[in-house]
Amino acid sequence: MTETPPDPEAQDPPPPAEEFERLLERASESTAYKDPYNLGILLYERGDLEGAEAAFRRAEEGGDEDGALQVGLLLEERGDLEGAEAAFRRGDERGEAHSTYHLGELLEQRGDLEGAEAAYRRGDERDDEDSAYNLGRLLERRGDLEGAEAAYRRGDEGLDGESAYSLGRLLERRGDLEGAEAAYERAKASRDPEAPERAQAALNALRPNG
């Protein structure tokens, strides 16, 4: 009796590591996916998170400064906060500002405000506007309005709409309506998801007859 050959599509898919190696070999034919980082992007877009993680880890091992960041983001997406924190710390140690920012967010979420503030300060020093905004928010929460304003201004200079809006609120509270209006206008022109709408509402309140 002749055996029917197995259906290739019915076989179990190769493990993620093997799939990654196979794709990495094939990537030599494509200028877009020659390196592990870009391959990780491809695998992530295909929904292969394990393969993407393997690729990003390979990129990190190869010295790609964004490799640790992407590993951390993937682990955070999977709920592995401990692994994500370790990856963000590796990126932070290399001076990668976005890793520093995400490290600060993780620390803040678990209540380590001192560690979060320190991370946001490092991110701010590395010209990350999101870190500047979050630093300002923490400082404002604890009553350091002068420090918060300075942080918001740095974020505003980096075209962060939330920083511009928050700066406007601070200026309005202390009676600098002209400065507040200018800050709200900058927030209104930003591409941030919520800042323009809130800035417009603040402007309407500032000039009800205008």
Picking from 8-22, 37-51, 102-116, which range would have the lowest pLDDT averaged per residue? 8-22
In contact, 126 and 146? CB cutoff 8 Å: no
pLDDT digits (tens, 9 = 90+) for 63-93: 898 999 999 999 999 999 999 999 999 999 9
Question: In terms of C-beta density within 10 A (0-12 exposed, 13-18 middle, 19 or more buried), how is residue 28 classed?
Answer: exposed
Taking all residues of the chain, what is their mean pLDDT, rounded to a whole number?
88
- Give the residue among 117, 73, 63 at the shortest CA–CA distance from 98: 73
So what's the pLDDT on residue 20?
Answer: 56
CATH architecture designation of domain 127-210: Alpha Horseshoe (1.25)
DSSP codes of every residue in 64-93? -TTHHHHHHHHHHHHT-HHHHHHHHHHHHH
pLDDT digits (tens, 9 = 90+) for 165-205: 999 999 999 999 999 999 999 999 999 999 999 999 999 99
Taken in order 196, 138, 118, 156, the sign of the CA dihedral is positive
**Threshold 0.75, pTM exceeds:** yes
Q: What residue has token string 């620390």?
A: 107
In contact, 161 and 196? CB cutoff 8 Å: yes
pLDDT band at residue 164, thresholds of 50, 70 and 90?
very high
So what's the pLDDT on residue 16?
Answer: 54
